[in-house]
Structure 1
Amino acid sequence: MKTALVFTVLIAYLIQAGWANEACSASSKPDFRAPGRRISEEKCREYNWERKCSSAQDVDVNEHPYLGAIAYRKEDGDVIFACAATLISPKFAVTTGHCSRNIRIGGSLTPEFVRFGNKNLKAEAVIDAKIVNKISYPQSENEREVILRKNDIGLLQFENALPLNKAVTPACLWSQEIGSDVTKVSAWGTTGGNKLPDVLRTMEVQIMDSESCKKAAIPYFNRKFPKLEDQHLCVNDSSDPKEYFSKGSSGAPIVISAPVAEGEDMSYIKAFATFGTRYRTGAITFYTKIPNYIDWIEQQVWGTTPL
């Protein structure tokens, strides 16, 4: 009886595996195009399908499979992880404009690769994506002085397309309005001192409404930040300023899970951290809204012929 049961289970598994292989073949790939659907949405559904069909399903599940840490190489050969980036296609990640260019930490450092696949940067199960192209949002000559505040967004292009699985999966691009609510943000940013942690940290924050954001931003206006732009979003943590991210949090995304079909959710990036400051008993961080740049992102990443 036991042998018969094992045999039955084995046959059922082989049949299911055969069905899965057939469902994931190139000839059975669904057409994700639909009237009114943006190309970023089409590609996101396609990447999700590829992830589910991946043969590497035995990898460890990563709670944030879209999140990566940007590595900068020092003159002595050591690597510094100083910013976050969000994977939006197998070959592109979005981050801040200032993180996509050289940064100054004891000298001018160039972004070299982005580490994905694990919340622990020192874990063995990671994927390092080599950066071959850095794309900044275009600005006029007069805007260059305030680029770090006005259009702080950039794209990182990788040498090779990343294999998609449960540990590495792109996030979709949010295209709707962003309301004021409580959400979570994850980053490798420090909460005190100068040493960045190796393990990802997550905390709860409050997205401020537009009027509160405008009032809160006034004390911080300066030459590089002359006014609050429509593409800015204010995020406030009023519980304990000591627990708020500081150094290393640039690029940390606000990501939500939204349903796309019955029983199926996908992750959407709404915004990412650009710069922050202390405000009263808490801290305010200004974020760049993804919906305000989605046309530019789609043009750069997928163009007229999707990658």
Structure 2
Amino acid sequence: MTGELFSYFPICHRNIPVNYRKLPSIVRLGILISERFILTAAHCVVRDDRKLPSIVRLGKIDLLGDSDNATAQDIPVEERIIHPEYKSYKLGKDIALLRLARTAEFNDNVKAVCLNTSPQIRSRLLISGWGLINRTTEQRSRFLQRAIMEPYDLNKCNQTFLESPSRIAIYDAQLCALSNAPAPSSTCKGDSGGPIQFENRRNDGRTPMIVAGITSYGRGCRGSVPTIYTRVSSYLSWIEEIVWR
């Protein structure tokens, strides 16, 4: 098998997305949405200077430990499908699918997540991943990190990024989020392609996680600046046409 191990693909396990990165170099994430498909950010799979993903690993929580190796699933990637309107020099339509070579085996550790079908999102959002926890040393977390975020007004978000050196425009098919914690958190290098989610409290007492967006872009891992996510509800038709046709 050639190429690099494309892991950190989140799955629903104890109501949080989890997975594992074996190689110490570039970390990428994604979201298991069916037995054969993973949803991720387009910019994670189109970089010319990187080998294309060849394997995903599911069912692994501890980045370095061996305790859950027996339940992990390594599955080859059969095809990458990038949104046809994605442009690498823009932030819009930053979404892609990976078709697996065989079906994932669902169990207590590996489950597909639900996607948000409404443009409306809850006020309390959860980000998670194994991205950098120290930018100076390039240290990644061994264990899954989580942080609470809140939706950030799209017009204010657009103004923030248009006034930045990159002068990036924000679109309706994106969403922005910001941490209001005293020590604000943010996504960082290695978290791209992962989910931003909210709890769906049901009458039967269950609280499944619903994916509202895909981590797309941030400014220097700064918790004081909003981060940008691809809004999945804007791309349901495209996803459904490929995954459930």
Q: Matches of 1:250 and 1:200 in 2, distance apart? A: 14
Pick from 72, 82, 86 the counterpart of residue 27 of structure 2.
Answer: 82
Pick from 123, 147, 153 the counterpart of residue 203 of structure 1.
Answer: 147
Task: Determine if contact 1:83/1:250 at 8 Å carries over to the other structure.
Answer: yes
**Residue in structure 1 matched with residue 53 of structure 2 by the alignment:** 111
Deviations 1:256-299 (A, max 9, x none): 23256634443321101101015987132110000000100000
Distance 1:129 1:221, change over 3 A: farther
Deviations 1:84-139 (A, max 9, x none): 111000110101001133464xxx22212222213213332322222111000012
Aligned with 2:43: secondary structure?
A: coil
CA RMSD of aligned residues (A): 2.7
**Residue in structure 1 matched with residue 79 of structure 2 by the alignment:** 133
Task: Determine if contact 1:214/1:228 at 8 Å carries over to the other structure.
Answer: yes
Calculate percent identity across the aligned residue pairs: 23
Deviations 1:195-224 (A, max 9, x none): 32232111112221223223222223747x
Distance 1:152 1:200, change over 3 A: same
- The 5 Å alignment of 1:21-170 reads 62-64=13-15, 67-69=18-20, 80=25, 82-102=27-47, 104=49, 108-122=50-64, 123=66, 124=69, 125-139=71-85, 144=87, 146-147=89-90, 149-170=91-112
Q: Matches of 2:195 and 2:148 in 1, distance apart? A: 13
**Residue in structure 2 matched with residue 268 of structure 1 by the alignment:** 210
Distance 1:216 1:69, change over 3 A: farther
Distance 1:203 1:179, change over 3 A: same
Deviations 1:210-264 (A, max 9, x none): 23223222223747x3x211111111125435x4331101012112232566344
Which structure has the larger Rg?
Answer: 1
- Amino acid of the residue matched to residue 155 of structure 2? E
Task: Determine if contact 1:68/1:85 at 8 Å carries over to the other structure.
Answer: no
Pick from 218, 230, 236 the counterpart of residue 288 of structure 1.
Answer: 230
Aligned with 2:139: secondary structure?
A: coil
Q: Matches of 2:48 and 2:63 in 1, distance apart? A: 20
Cα offset, 1:188, TM superposition: 0.6
Q: Matches of 1:120 and 1:228 in 2, distance apart? A: 35
**Matched positions, count:** 227
Distance 1:210 1:153, change over 3 A: same
Task: Determine if contact 1:183/1:207 at 8 Å carries over to the other structure.
Answer: yes
The unaligned stretches of length 5 or more in structure 2 are 1-11
Task: Determine if contact 1:240/1:282 at 8 Å carries over to the other structure.
Answer: no
Distance 1:67 1:297, change over 3 A: farther
Q: Matches of 2:40 and 2:20 in 1, distance apart? A: 10
Q: Matches of 1:280 and 1:66 in 2, distance apart? A: 22
The unaligned stretches of length 5 or more in structure 1 are 1-60, 72-77
Pick from 162, 173, 178 the counterpart of residue 218 of structure 1.
Answer: 162
1:233 aligns with 2:179: no
Distance 1:170 1:66, change over 3 A: farther
Q: Matches of 1:235 and 1:258 in 2, distance apart? A: 18
By relative contact order (CA 8 Å, sep 6+), the higher-ranking structure is 2
Task: Determine if contact 2:78/2:101 at 8 Å carries over to the other structure.
Answer: yes
**Residue in structure 2 matched with residue 24 of structure 1 by the alignment:** none
- Amino acid of the residue matched to residue 74 of structure 2? D
Distance 1:279 1:213, change over 3 A: farther
Aligned with 1:113: secondary structure?
A: strand
Q: Matches of 2:242 and 2:102 in 1, distance apart? A: 16
